[in-house]
Structure 1
Amino acid sequence: MDPRILDIADHLLLIERELHLQGWWSDESPSVEALSSTVPFAVDTMAFDQWLQWIFLPRMKEILERGLPLPNASGILVMAETVYVDRPEESRQLRKLLAEFDQLINPSA
């Protein structure tokens, strides 16, 4: 088993918790069309917070639960820095968690 699995699982929970704390968690799922976007981060159909909740977290959890190969790289912080440029304080903890996630996925970075 990849030694990063437990740390990554912990980080996914922390990211989910931070989305809840910031009020960026939604009880209402985006449409099937929105969820079907093939554009990176689904920027054409949903907000970054929604992408984290409805696409990123479920996909990463599935990868961990099914023992699938981890992604070779993650650049999620770059997107978060762009999205939250106008909310630096509010998004500070989430960006920190996403930076740590990137480091876990890219251990040599």
Structure 2
Amino acid sequence: MTPLLLQRLDQLEMLMRDHQHWQTTPPSASALASSQPFCLDTLEPLEWLQWVLIPRMRALIAARQPLPQNFAVAPYFEVALASSTPGHAALLRCLTQLDALFSDETS
């Protein structure tokens, strides 16, 4: 699963870059220290993807650590992303494909 997971993370980053959602300046340390799911209280949904999900997943893979189980982020983004968000459909499709890697792992 690791090569496909890395491919999905790269695809997600590329989509975010293509639609100008990728930021050059990281959020503050306190924003990243949120204890809320998806950092709801401190980050926008796409910020969470860039600054939390993607780097943490890559770090787990690099360190050969166990990957999360019962992983699903697409349902949150189906609600959190406005349909007018540039790249909306492609982002949701990519996140659904990412989630599928984990549901396939547990089935």
TM-score normalised over the length of structure 2: 0.93
Q: 2:8 aligns with which of 11, 30, 38?
A: 11
Q: Unaligned stretches of 5+ in structure 1?
A: none
The number of equivalent residue pairs is 106
Distance between the aligned counterparts of 2:31 and 2:81, measured in 1? 21
Query: Counterpart amino acid of 1:73?
Result: N
Structure 1 position 42 matched with structure 2 position 39: yes
What RMSD in Å do the two structures reach over aligned CA positions?
A: 1.5
Contact conserved, 2:69 with 2:102, CA < 8 A, in 1?
Answer: yes
Partner of 2:69: 72
What percent of counterpart residues are identical? 25
Structure 1 position 27 matched with structure 2 position 28: no
Partner of 1:62: 59
Once the two structures are superposed, what CA deviation does each residue of 1:7-52 show, in whole Å capped at 9, x if it has no partner? 0000000000001011111001001100000100001001011000
Moved over 4 A (4+): none
